[in-house]
């Protein structure tokens, strides 16, 4: 009997060690796989952006902040070129990038949108705005676009999140050459990094537009067929995006615990959980849509309105708790300090999340300089001193080459930027978020962070639902146009 017990004990010990090793191996494989997905997606995005931005037609690049989008015309690939692929000198197509967290989409004229990744956390697009005189004096700075893309993904089977950042700086060559050479007239002939098969320019160039019978009445059957394909592709992409979004919404941690039914659920946690679940439950049919106002996107909008109101309510309370005194933004004499205080608060919140992410890193990752670049705090992105900022800006704007009123204007702008930085840094130092870590506030802060995620993912879901609904409507209009065309013939 003793021998049997010893055998069982040894077997349990060996099995436990084996299971632990197997579990560690599985976790390691999951982390490696997640990191590879993020690296692949981020490099694809940067590769695509680099190719597009190099081929931008002069004076067509524009961005919007909320939601973040980039629109421009790019030179198409010259399909007649042999060997090394060249860009056309006279044929362009419209390109649009749209970021609705966590989706980054790219859309070409005459084609449906393509989602480049469903794990994008942050996209930063920076392009200097210079006066015509400054741009002419410094064409490279004027034509340069800096892009940083950060992707984030939770490791399957754990709460560990992995981030990966890729950066690129691109000179929009057509803009550069037109500024540097006055006789240059967009005779751009540069090898394209990515080949895009471009359809004829007379095909649809609509972006996110609702079609009408009047807009289609002069189109041929072939053109209508092409447009049907675009709408079908749009619906397919929207369905894939909604599936991924729903997974991410369902994974939002609202702070709800399994034992809450015994001890009672915190009201803030209950609200966040309810909003998350309602948003995830919204489905969009593939046809027979309800009337406008009662559609899935309308339901999502109503949930977002409730969530946003709760976020605004909490932020007012959190803001008051984070500063000893608050500036009045409605008072003209305090407006600049109020703006600096608000910016400092937002930076401190973001840096708090960065610091929490750093805490979850392995010691090996913390010692990796390249890895740690992805976790640079926003406050640390400022120069250390105003003298350093002043020197950097003077060099970038070539202040030493300016004279008279131009020099005075640039000097005034530099001093204004230095003053703004000092005010933000000062308010950042005064902002105290330690109260967020106190036990009595833990659930409220957790629910607030969950509401922010619900709102961000919800905006993406609402827009994706709208895209699908519009494509379904457009398909119906196109089918009617085809029927009318057949009747006319």
Residue 339 confidence (pLDDT) above 70: yes
Residue 181 confidence (pLDDT) above 70: no
Q: Give me the long-range contacts of 57-64 (CB less than 8 A, separation at least 24).
A: 57/92, 57/174, 57/186, 58/172, 58/174, 58/175, 58/177, 58/178, 58/186, 59/175, 59/178, 61/127, 61/145, 61/172, 61/175, 63/125, 63/127
- Residues 113 and 460: their CA atoms lie apart, in Å, by 14
In this prediction, residues 104-118 reach a mean pLDDT of: 82
The upper half-sphere exposure of residue 387, i.e. CA atoms within 13 Å in the direction of its Cβ, equals: 0
- Asked if 87 and 99 touch (Cβ cutoff 8 Å), the reply is no
pLDDT for position 188: 42
* Percentage of the residues of the chain whose pLDDT score is greater than 90: 26
- Which sequence spans correspond to the domains of the chain? 35-207, 248-463
pLDDT in tens, 203-254: 333 444 677 777 777 778 888 888 888 888 888 888 999 998 998 899 889 9
pLDDT in tens, 220-230: 888 888 888 88
pLDDT for position 75: 84
* Percentage of the residues of the chain whose pLDDT score is greater than 70: 83
- Residues 103 and 232: their CA atoms lie apart, in Å, by 19
Candidate ranges 277-281, 396-400, 461-465; pick with highest mean pLDDT: 277-281
More confident site: 214 or 60: 60
pLDDT in tens, 359-381: 887 888 888 887 787 778 889 88
More confident site: 250 or 353: 250
In this prediction, residues 131-140 reach a mean pLDDT of: 73
Q: What confidence category does residue 165 fall into, taking pLDDT thresholds of 50, 70 and 90?
A: confident
Partners of 64 in beta bridges = 69
Assessment of whether the complete model's pTM goes beyond 0.85 = no
Structure tokens at 360: 């979850």
Candidate ranges 347-361, 379-393, 419-433; pick with highest mean pLDDT: 419-433
The DSSP symbol for 99 reads E
Q: What is the mean pLDDT of the chain?
A: 81
| Three-class DSSP category at 481 | helix
Query: Which range is least confidently modeled, 2-11, 66-75, 134-143, 397-406?
Result: 2-11
Order of strands across the sheet that contains 86-100: 62-64, 68-78, 86-100, 103-108, 114-117
Candidate ranges 26-40, 193-207, 449-463; pick with highest mean pLDDT: 449-463
- Residues 474 and 208: their CA atoms lie apart, in Å, by 11
Give Cβ neighbours of residue 140 (< 8 Å, ≥ 6 apart).
Answer: 171, 176
pLDDT for position 31: 67
Q: Alpha helix locations (H) across 92-138?
A: 132-137
pLDDT for position 309: 96
pLDDT for position 28: 59
Query: Which range is least confidently modeled, 56-60, 135-139, 355-359, 393-397?
Result: 135-139
Nearest 5 degrees, angle CA 59-CA 126-CA 398? 80
Q: What confidence category does residue 192 fall into, taking pLDDT thresholds of 50, 70 and 90?
A: very low
Residue 151 confidence (pLDDT) above 70: yes
Residue 69 confidence (pLDDT) above 80: yes
pLDDT for position 207: 47
Candidate ranges 29-43, 57-71, 338-352, 393-407; pick with highest mean pLDDT: 338-352
Q: Alpha helix locations (H) across 93-220?
A: 132-137, 139-142, 173-180, 213-216
Dihedral angle sign, alpha carbons of residues 126, 129, 134, 135: positive
Dihedral angle sign, alpha carbons of residues 463, 60, 190, 180: negative
- Asked if 149 and 46 touch (Cβ cutoff 8 Å), the reply is yes
Partners of 209 in beta bridges = none
- Residues 112 and 226: their CA atoms lie apart, in Å, by 11
């Amino acid at each position: 009997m003793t021998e049997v017990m010893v055998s069982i004990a040894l077997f349990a010990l060996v099995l436990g060690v084996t299971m632990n090793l197997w579990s560690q191996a599985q976790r390691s494989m999951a982390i490696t796989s997640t990191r590879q997905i993020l690296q692949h997606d981020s490099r694809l995005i940067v590769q695509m952006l680099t190719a597009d931005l190099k081929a931008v037609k002069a004076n067509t690049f524009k961005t919007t902040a909320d939601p973040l989008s980039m629109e421009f015309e790019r030179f198409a690939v010259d399909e007649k070129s042999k060997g090394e692929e060249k860009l056309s000198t006279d044929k362009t197509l419209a390109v649009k990038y749209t970021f609705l967290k966590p989706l980054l989409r790219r859309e070409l004229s005459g084609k449906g949108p393509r989602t480049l990744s469903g794990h994008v956390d942050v996209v930063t697009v920076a392009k200097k705005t210079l006066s015509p005189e400054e741009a002419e004096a410094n064409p490279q700075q004027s034509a340069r676009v800096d892009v940083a893309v950060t992707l984030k993904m939770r490791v399957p089977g754990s709460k560990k999140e992995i981030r990966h950042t890729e950066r690129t700086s691109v000179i929009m060559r057509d803009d550069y050459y037109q500024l540097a050479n006055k006789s240059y007239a967009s005779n751009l002939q540069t090898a394209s990094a990515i080949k895009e098969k471009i359809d004829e320019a007379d095909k649809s160039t609509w972006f996110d537009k609702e079609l009408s019978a009047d807009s289609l009445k002069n189109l041929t059957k072939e053109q209508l067929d092409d447009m049907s394909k675009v709408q079908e592709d749009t619906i397919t992409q929207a369905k894939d995006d909604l599936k991924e979004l729903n997974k991410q919404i369902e994974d939002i941690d609202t702070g709800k615990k399994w034992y809450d039914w015994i001890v009672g659920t915190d009201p803030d946690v209950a609200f966040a959980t309810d909003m998350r679940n309602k948003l995830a439950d919204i489905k969009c049919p593939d046809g027979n849509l309800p009337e406008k106002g009662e559609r899935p996107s309308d339901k999502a909008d109503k949930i977002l309105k409730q969530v946003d109101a709760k976020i605004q309510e909490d932020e007012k309370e959190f803001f008051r708790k984070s500063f000893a005194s608050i500036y009045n933004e409605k008072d003209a004499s305090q407006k600049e300090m109020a703006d600096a205080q608000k910016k400092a608060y937002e930076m401190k919140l973001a840096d708090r999340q960065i610091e929490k992410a750093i805490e979850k890193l392995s010691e090996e990752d913390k010692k990796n300089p390249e890895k740690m670049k992805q976790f640079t705090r926003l406050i640390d992105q400022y120069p250390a001193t105003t003298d350093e900022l002043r020197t950097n800006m003077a060099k970038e704007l070539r202040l030493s080459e300016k004279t008279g009123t131009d020099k005075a204007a640039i000097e005034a702008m530099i001093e204004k930027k230095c003053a703004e930085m000092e005010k933000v840094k000062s308010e950042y130092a005064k902002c105290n978020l330690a109260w967020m870590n106190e036990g009595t506030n833990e659930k409220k802060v957790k629910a607030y962070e969950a509401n922010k995620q619900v709102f961000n993912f919800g905006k993406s879901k609402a827009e994706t639902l709208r895209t699908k609904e519009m494509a379904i409507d457009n398909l119906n209009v196109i089918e009617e146009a085809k029927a009318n065309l057949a009747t006319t013939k």
